[in-house]
A and B are shown apart, each in its own frame.
Chain A
Amino acid sequence: MSAPAKPTEPKNPVTSRIDALFARLKAANEKAFVAFVTAGDPDLDISARILAGLPQAGADIIELGMPFTDPMADGPAIQAASQRALAAGQTLKGTLDMVRNFRADNDITPIVLMGYYNPIYTYGVDKFLSDAKAAGIDGLIIVDLPPEEDDELCLPAMAAGVNFIRLATPTTDEKRLPDVLNNTSGFVYYVSITGITGSAPPQQKAVADNIARLKKHTDLPICVGFGIRTPDQAAAMAAIADGVVVGSALVDVIGETAENRAQTVDKLLALASALAEGVKRT
């Protein structure tokens, strides 16, 4: 078992591509566009081409979904993405290999893995962290690991030099906020609605109020995600946050082009460019 947390010693011993990115964006007065796709969706080859093309299309950070059979916090779009990837044979090891290949040509764009704990637990936490670090992964967002379970992966990740990026939500009250933000590094992911991915778009005012609330407790950048689909919605969120995450809308392109896979990469990257334009509009 890992040593118990020291709650008095806050956050970030990790400096990473993520910190460097936000420093650059801050200097340029820009916001971050965070693009989510699922690794191996719809197959390894197309997924690798999407990954390689996203930085050029304007993605500042790539959030790479680790497919899981039971994505309990995801709506139909990302559930389908997981199923396509698994059907095509994607594994956690395959996801790490993808990132290693990506890093051969790109040493700047941060990659954050997003998913559920079980595949990592089964892989073995220590082995996973050393393999992930070696592959060039910068951060982890693990939906089903709240601060109450920090011993599992968060503290070992920090020790291994991998950012552990926490989700804060509308239900995270004042009492919990310090616990949620403690041990968080890289950025904070604000979940804009109570719900699953791919739901209705968030209300700008409510999100702005909540970001202001978070800012009182942390100096970390705050990215907003869940329910953001269009360039205009991205622009509205970029006006009030440090970064904007889009997932389901991008992943939907992969679902919609199932009959014509030759179009998948171009169409997805075109949407990514439009979303990036929305984020940079402000």
Chain B
Amino acid sequence: MEQKNSFRAGPDEKGRFGLYGGRFVAETLMPLILDLEAHYEAAQKDPAFAAQLEDLQTHYVGRPSPLYYAERLTEHFGGAKIYLKRDELNHTGSHKINNCLGQILLAKRMGKTRIIAETGAGQHGVAVATVAARFGLPCTVFMGATDIERQKPNVFRMKLLGADIRPVTSGAGTLKDAMNEALRDWVTHVEDTFYIIGTVAGPHPYPAMVRDFQSIIGRETKEQMLAREGRLPDTLIACIGGGSNAMGLFHPFLDDAEVNIIGVEAGGFGLDTPDHAASLAGGTPGVLHGNRTYLLQDDDGQIIEGHSISAGLDYPGIGPEHAYLRDTGRVTYVSATDKEALEAFQLITRLEGIIPALEPSHALAHVGKIAGDLPADHLLVMNMCGRGDKDVFAVAEHLNVEL
């Protein structure tokens, strides 16, 4: 049963998590968003929908993903017992596929015949292109021109999968600009097009819907930890771009008061510089891309481009539910810099033989900051939400290695 004062009760019927969330979209999209909400509610009540999704999660994605005890990492830090939730082993290499499968099944139910998406690191784009290929729907992915440059392997993968890649040059040519362009496309093709948003942002019902599809991460973790250790974990840690992998891990634990929950934002060159993407630490509430949340903005309400070494984290906003969880104090939000992430990336590669994506390297950097001070029986779970294949070229460049 859901508790009365549950942290898991949101959103309300207006799509709000406290002050945050909502449906700040153009009228053209509004009927569509209401229609999507109705279809999503119906799908949630339909056992056939759940069964089809579960079948695909098992046999197409390879779920459940393992909960792996990182022995050498644990030894290295000399404190908490570190577990990795291995969503990087999913088909396509990140947690993004969890959400894409749910949404494409919904698109099919709604009779939509064309898929669009935005992408930053390209992991969401690859996951969308993958499910579009699997279900035989044409797919257009909007990607910032800057990101296309730094994520070439993923761009090629999307093309192989049959996606049409549209480079976006407005703004800084990164994730926020790609999302603007996807919204423009959607407004223009409302009749036939389904927009698969890649994180827990956008207008209601997206933040709740993406969270629900990603919550499989946390539900599995709970079960796996109970089976292994006979109790819940003490600490959960995940990186935050828009916040979908983090919300997926956190949500099933929000009402377990004894579980300490930490989200790690991208600190870029440092929070004392303008070049970071830590919307909660360095932002203020505002309205962008359909919802109210914390945003990096100036005092005129103009949005500031985020910076991160990781193309998946440099979004100047954050999912509205995270904004709510921060204000209520249920989740603690911290940050890790580019440099710290890069060091963590190398460390885990050497110690565990796991090459992580740069995004979860931020989470790992924070693990390194706290694990040593925790007792040996402290159970810590970090979401290893993506693998690093896409990042090896960028990392080589940062390490001044010529390939």
A contact residues vs B (CB 8 Å cutoff)? 68-75, 79, 86, 91-93, 116-123, 143-149, 166-173, 176, 180, 191, 194-196, 199
A176: B residues at CB distance < 8 A = 30-31
Known contacts A121-B301, A171-B30, A172-B31, then 7 further A-B pairs from the complex at CB < 8 Å, ordered by chain A residue? A75-B184, A119-B300, A121-B286, A123-B301, A144-B290, A191-B28, A196-B187
**Which of B31, B183, B287, B297 lies in contact with A171, CB distance below 8 A?**
B31
What is the bound-complex CA distance between A74 and B181, given in angstroms?
10
Shortest distance from the beta carbon of B66 to any chain A beta carbon, whole Å: 40
Give B29's nearest chain A residue, CB to CB.
A171
B31: A residues at CB distance < 8 A = 171-173, 176
B301 touches A119 (CB 8 A): yes
B295: A residues at CB distance < 8 A = 118
A146 touches B287 (CB 8 A): no
Shortest distance from the beta carbon of B126 to any chain A beta carbon, whole Å: 25
**Which of B26, B183, B300 lies in contact with A122, CB distance below 8 A?**
B300
A73: B residues at CB distance < 8 A = 26, 28, 184, 187
Produce 1/0 per residue, B22-58, CB < 8 A to A: 1111111111100000000000000000000000000
Listed A/B pairs (19) with beta-carbon separation below 8 Å: A70-B176, A70-B180, A73-B184, A92-B301, A118-B297, A122-B297, A122-B300, A122-B301, A144-B287, A146-B23, A149-B22, A171-B29, A171-B190, A173-B31, A176-B31, A191-B27, A194-B188, A194-B189, A194-B190
B284: A residues at CB distance < 8 A = 122
A120 touches B301 (CB 8 A): yes
Most buried by A among B24, B288, B289, B299: B24
**Which of B25, B32, B170, B303 lies in contact with A118, CB distance below 8 A?**
B303
What is the bound-complex CA distance between A156 and B37, given in angstroms?
28
Give A122's nearest chain B residue, CB to CB.
B301
Give B24's nearest chain A residue, CB to CB.
A144
A145-B24 in contact given A122-B286, A194-B187 (Cβ < 8 Å):
yes
B290: A residues at CB distance < 8 A = 144
Q: Of residues 48 to 97 in B, which have CB atoms within 8 Å of A's CB atoms?
A: none
B25 touches A144 (CB 8 A): yes
B14 within 8 A of A: yes
**Which of B170, B188, B292 lies in contact with A195, CB distance below 8 A?**
B188
Q: Of residues 274 to 325 in B, which have CB atoms within 8 Å of A's CB atoms?
A: 284, 286-290, 292, 295, 297, 299-303
A196 touches B188 (CB 8 A): yes
Give A146's nearest chain B residue, CB to CB.
B30
A167: B residues at CB distance < 8 A = 26-28
A146 touches B300 (CB 8 A): no
A168: B residues at CB distance < 8 A = 27
B301 touches A144 (CB 8 A): no
Shortest distance from the beta carbon of B31 to any chain A beta carbon, whole Å: 5
B375 within 8 A of A: no
Shortest distance from the beta carbon of B314 to any chain A beta carbon, whole Å: 15
A172 touches B27 (CB 8 A): yes
A166: B residues at CB distance < 8 A = 27
Most buried by A among B23, B25, B290, B299: B25
Q: Of residues 178 to 225 in B, which have CB atoms within 8 Å of A's CB atoms?
A: 180, 183-184, 187-191
Shortest distance from the beta carbon of B389 to any chain A beta carbon, whole Å: 31
B183 touches A72 (CB 8 A): yes
A199: B residues at CB distance < 8 A = 188
B183: A residues at CB distance < 8 A = 72
What is the bound-complex CA distance between A199 and B32, given in angstroms?
21
Shortest distance from the beta carbon of A249 to any chain B beta carbon, whole Å: 19
Most buried by B among A116, A144, A194: A144
Shortest distance from the beta carbon of A93 to any chain B beta carbon, whole Å: 8
A149: B residues at CB distance < 8 A = 22-24
Most buried by B among A74, A146, A172, A173: A146
